[in-house]
Amino acid sequence: MILTNTTPTPQDTPPTVEDYLNTVNYSSENDLYVPTAFAIGFMAFIKLVNDGKLENKSPLIHYKVVDKFDNGSQRVINLMHRGLAKTTLVRYLFWYCGVIGGLPNFGDVNLILYISDSIENGVKNMRKNLEFEYNQSAFLQRMIPKAKFTDIHWEFENLNGKVTIIKGFGAKTGVRGVTARGQRPDMAVFDDIISDEDARSATVISAIEDTVYKAVMHALHPTRRKLIWNGTPFNATDPIYKAVESGTWEVNVYPVCEQFPVTKEEFRGSWEDRFTYEFVAHEYEMARKEGNISAFNQELMLRIMNDDERLIPPSCIHYYDPQFREVLIATCNIYVTTDFATSESQHADFSGCNVWGHSADGGWWWLDGFCKRQTMDKNIEGLFRYVETYAPLETGIEVSGQQGGFIPWIKKEMVTRNLYFNIASSNNNGKEGIRPTTNKMQRFNVTVPWFKAGQMHFPDPNLVSNFALHEMLHEIGLVSVRGFKSRKDDQLDNISQLPLLNSFRPSRGLNNNNNGSGQLPVRSNSSYFV
């Protein structure tokens, strides 16, 4: 079930956006949510408005959003990916209030404030869609005999003579002293209140926050009030992003899927009838080819990373042409790192195994790897395949926790297969296996100077389709100064293992600065993360 935050007690630390994202679970098998009668009725209402004609089957998420319209919470945030119909659901909320006159648990709704990014964009678009829908729906015309539409004022009178008024405002224009028929607003809806241009201006963002927290909140009825805030974040300074992490709103977070890239079998999406695996894979591939993975992460995965909080800037990632891979294998000392999980469950950690070349100039070159959810016997099979192919000088095997039995298993397999290799020892104390003594972030920080010195090299991701490579780059791109923002960190653990190996450079061989025939062209990041 998707994590839902209630207002924390003072001693609690409010969840971050990453906390919400890392706990999203779209598996119907594990979701104990049961829609309320209101949510079921509301979704049936939508069908009536559309004469039973809907393009896609409504996902469970829509029921969850609708339930929050009338669940007693005064302040609700829905952080949602692009295309999840957040504005459409708001429009049907207006129609529902217009037809019924209010909400079952809230009571009469008299005046609603609708705040979008601007009157010219969001507000006028809402007016156009409302008017079009009214003119096309015999059900609405029957249930709301009188309807008035101007650009910023929409008025519905139902069969009982109950009038519901919606007033539209731009988030930068200010909302003060709003009344209608002598009554203050009892509901406000914030709907994508930040535009692309707004997100780049601290002054505009400050003005928008004033609209939310000063103008609108103080304009509402003092006791009968409901605030609904829907949006997709632009950056970490986006007011909705900060509101989610304030701990003062009830929060729902809905990315397009739990994680991407993944295989089709592992895919768990928000609305699979509309946003299929094929659609998400296509969007990801286009973003990858265009060097704009960050847009995919922002718009669909809701993961934000500002340049000033990124621990590894894009300029510190160096790519090489994969056609030189064989040259690297021939001239580098080879090492293998691993981080094996013990389950192939869909929500388990990945099992990672990566092959690295260590060059004469001290550089590390990613050569090969796998990153999968699979059982340990398959991990062992993959490890021995790499050992046989690459003949590493040393292999790192973490043996903390449930991994304690890995070394005996691997050594038994060495005898069975007649294939032997060196297993790294923590602190070179002769005891086989890597036994971390610090936390994940502390271990990764040891490798940061290598990135800053331009010593970490990866094949051009536009030319290599290996999932392990792409997952590693994805995780690197989401390392912040405050910690890991990626859903998984298994490939980062593989990188962190490199300093724990007893590695050494070849005495001679390929050098990044060679000017001879052995030169290997290396370039900085082509904005893979940007």
Q: Domain for residue 8, yes or no?
A: no
Residue-level pLDDT at 300: 95
User: Is 530 within 8 Å of 291 (Cβ atoms)?
Assistant: yes
| Residue 29 binned pLDDT confidence (cut-offs 50, 70, 90) | low
Q: What is the pLDDT of residues 351-390, one digit of tens each?
A: 999 999 999 999 999 999 999 988 999 999 999 999 999 9
Query: Does residue 41 have a pLDDT over 50?
Result: yes
Residue-level pLDDT at 346: 52
Q: Domain for residue 40, yes or no?
A: no
Q: What is the pLDDT of residues 404-456, one digit of tens each?
A: 688 999 999 999 999 999 999 876 567 888 888 888 999 999 999 999 999 99
Q: Domain for residue 17, yes or no?
A: no
**Mean pLDDT of the 304-316 span:** 80
> Does 350 share its domain with 219?
no
**The last residue of a domain, from among 218, 238, 254:** 254
- Among 57-71, 182-196, 475-489, 510-524, the minimum mean pLDDT is found in 510-524
> Does 216 share its domain with 143?
yes
> Does 248 share its domain with 311?
no
User: Is 406 within 8 Å of 378 (Cβ atoms)?
Assistant: no
Considering its fold, how many domains does the chain have in total?
2
Residue-level pLDDT at 428: 57
> Does 360 share its domain with 503?
yes
**The last residue of a domain, from among 221, 254, 287:** 254
- How many C-beta atoms lie closer than 10 Å to residue 215's C-beta? 21
| Cα distances (angstroms) measured from residue 64 to each of 69, 87, 265 | 9, 15, 25
**Mean pLDDT of the 47-51 span:** 94
| Residue 480 binned pLDDT confidence (cut-offs 50, 70, 90) | confident
> Does 88 share its domain with 232?
yes
More confident residue, 219 or 277: 277
> Does 355 share its domain with 240?
no
Q: Domain for residue 349, yes or no?
A: yes
Q: What is the pLDDT of residues 133-172, one digit of tens each?
A: 999 999 999 999 999 999 999 999 999 999 999 999 999 8
> Does 324 share its domain with 185?
no
CA pair distance 486, 72, nearest whole angstrom: 33
> Does 90 share its domain with 224?
yes
CA pair distance 361, 9, nearest whole angstrom: 54
Chain mean pLDDT for the chain: 87
User: Where residue 465 sits, what CATH number does that domain have?
Assistant: 3.30.420.240
Residue-level pLDDT at 349: 78
**Mean pLDDT of the 31-49 span:** 93
**The last residue of a domain, from among 212, 237, 254:** 254
More confident residue, 402 or 92: 92
> Does 203 share its domain with 313?
no
> Does 248 share its domain with 316?
no
Q: Domain for residue 460, yes or no?
A: yes
Query: Does residue 524 have a pLDDT over 60?
Result: no
| Residue 399 binned pLDDT confidence (cut-offs 50, 70, 90) | confident
> Does 223 share its domain with 315?
no
Q: Domain for residue 486, yes or no?
A: yes
User: Where residue 151 sits, what CATH number does that domain have?
Assistant: 3.40.50.300
More confident residue, 334 or 15: 334
Q: Domain for residue 508, yes or no?
A: yes
- Among 121-130, 137-146, 509-518, the minimum mean pLDDT is found in 509-518
Q: What is the pLDDT of residues 59-116, one digit of tens each?
A: 999 999 999 999 888 999 999 999 999 999 999 999 999 999 999 999 999 999 999 9
> Does 387 share its domain with 243?
no
Strand 479-480 and strand 483-484: the pairing is antiparallel
Range of the domain at 508: 307-524
How deeply is 511 buried, as exposed, middle or buried, from its count of CB atoms within 10 A (0-12, 13-18, 19+)? Answer: middle
Residue-level pLDDT at 176: 66
Q: Domain for residue 7, yes or no?
A: no
Q: Which two tokens stand for residue 80?
A: 């949602």
